[in-house]
Amino acid sequence: MSAARTIYLLLVVAILAFLVAPLVVIVWASFFSDKILSFPPGGYTLDWYARAWQQPDFVAGFLMSIKIALCAMAGSLLLGVPASLAIERFRFPGRESVRQLLLAPMYVPAIVAGAAVYLYYIQFEISTEVQLAATFPGLLLAHTLVALPWTMRLICASLATTTGIAEEAAQSLGANALQTFFYVTLPIIRPGLIAAALFSFIASFSELEESLFLVGPGKTTLPIAIVNYLEWNLDSTIAAVATVQILIIGTALLVSDRYVNLGKAF
């Protein structure tokens, strides 16, 4: 093995360790038995998981996050699939601008976007008397916006792998637009669709910054519940909750990797 290769390998291992170490520490810490997080641990226990589950804030936050992530996933697919189809299959003026616009939420810092959405909701409420800030629909809209670019990226990428000629074949065989979509387009982009669903779920489930502006009292999401808890406590409950979160997101990532080559979509 050459020296260059050794250095390269060491670098890769170092970067990987740097990325994974915090996760390992969190998972490890969730089993510490000490009342206050300390190192080295005095012993090990599963108590923290039980305790986390007894905290109403975490349970409510967890359920809220799941609910909002599922809704945001559905919303981003309902908007993202037709939008991707239009962008990938048709030529119209401003096509590239529309694409960039729909991908934009990915590039705007979430805290900025959160403030912007909040201000917009307030203005909206002043002029229409419809309250969006601190409501579930308001939060859902914002989360859909966060999830949408992920759906767009993945669906566009899987549409781009076929040229639309299979759809033309379906039409020539007598299929109308709906039949073509459901019998041909949808099955062809199915892997991308599954990945898009999982990614928009993850994007919403782990969203913190925008939600900070938009949640109502007693209706927080899990990441916010974690932040709130951290302000006053430093025990392993948080590690246990985070471990559960890591498990859910990790599983979703592993599953979507089975369906699409994620490297290709980004």
Partner 1 sequence: MSGVTLKRLNKTFGELPAVDGVSIDIREGELIALLGPSGCGKTTTLRMVAGFVEPSSGSVHFGERDVTRVPVHHRNVGMVFQGYALFPHLSVAKNIEFGLKVRRWDRTRVQKRVDEMLEWVQLGRFSERRPRDLSGGQQQRVAVARAMAIHPDVLLLDEPFSALDAKLRLQMRSEIRELQREAGITSVFVTHDQEEAMAIADRIGVMNHGKLEQLGSAQDLYLRPASRFVAGFIGKCNVLEGRIAGTRQFETKSGQQLQYSNEHAAGSGALCFRPEHGELVRAARADANNISVTLKAVTYLGADTEYELVADNGERLLVMAASSSVAGAAFKAGERLVLSWRSQDSFVVD
Which parts of this chain interact with partner 1 (CB under 8 A)? 165-166, 168-176, 179, 183-184, 187-188, 190
Q: Which is nearer to partner 1, 4 or 165 (CB)?
A: 165
Q: Which is nearer to partner 1, 13 or 173 (CB)?
A: 173
Q: Give min distance, CB of 29 to partner 1, in A.
A: 46
Single-letter amino acid code for the residue at 180: T
Q: Which is nearer to partner 1, 127 or 176 (CB)?
A: 176
How far is the CA of 103 from the CAs of 61, 76, 80, 148, 163, in angstroms?
A: 28, 12, 10, 7, 22
Does an H or E element contain 39, and which?
none
Tokens of 94: 């401003």
Q: Which is nearer to partner 1, 168 or 257 (CB)?
A: 168
Q: Give min distance, CB of 170 to partner 1, in A.
A: 7
Q: Give min distance, CB of 191 to partner 1, in A.
A: 10
Compute, in degrees rounded to 10, the torsion defined by CA atoms 152, 157, 158, 160. Answer: 120
Q: What's the half-sphere exposure (Cβ side, CA atoms, 13 Å) at 59?
A: 8
**Alpha-carbon gap, residue 192 to 186, rounded angstroms:** 10
**Alpha-carbon gap, residue 149 to 155, rounded angstroms:** 10
Distance of CA 207 to the CA centre of its chain: 7
Q: Give min distance, CB of 175 to partner 1, in A.
A: 5
Q: Give min distance, CB of 184 to partner 1, in A.
A: 6
Compute, in degrees rounded to 10, the torsion defined by CA atoms 125, 130, 132, 138. Answer: -140
Residue 32 DSSP symbol = B
Q: Which is nearer to partner 1, 45 or 171 (CB)?
A: 171
Distance of CA 45 to the CA centre of its chain: 31
Q: Which is nearer to partner 1, 187 or 250 (CB)?
A: 187
Q: Give min distance, CB of 240 to partner 1, in A.
A: 43
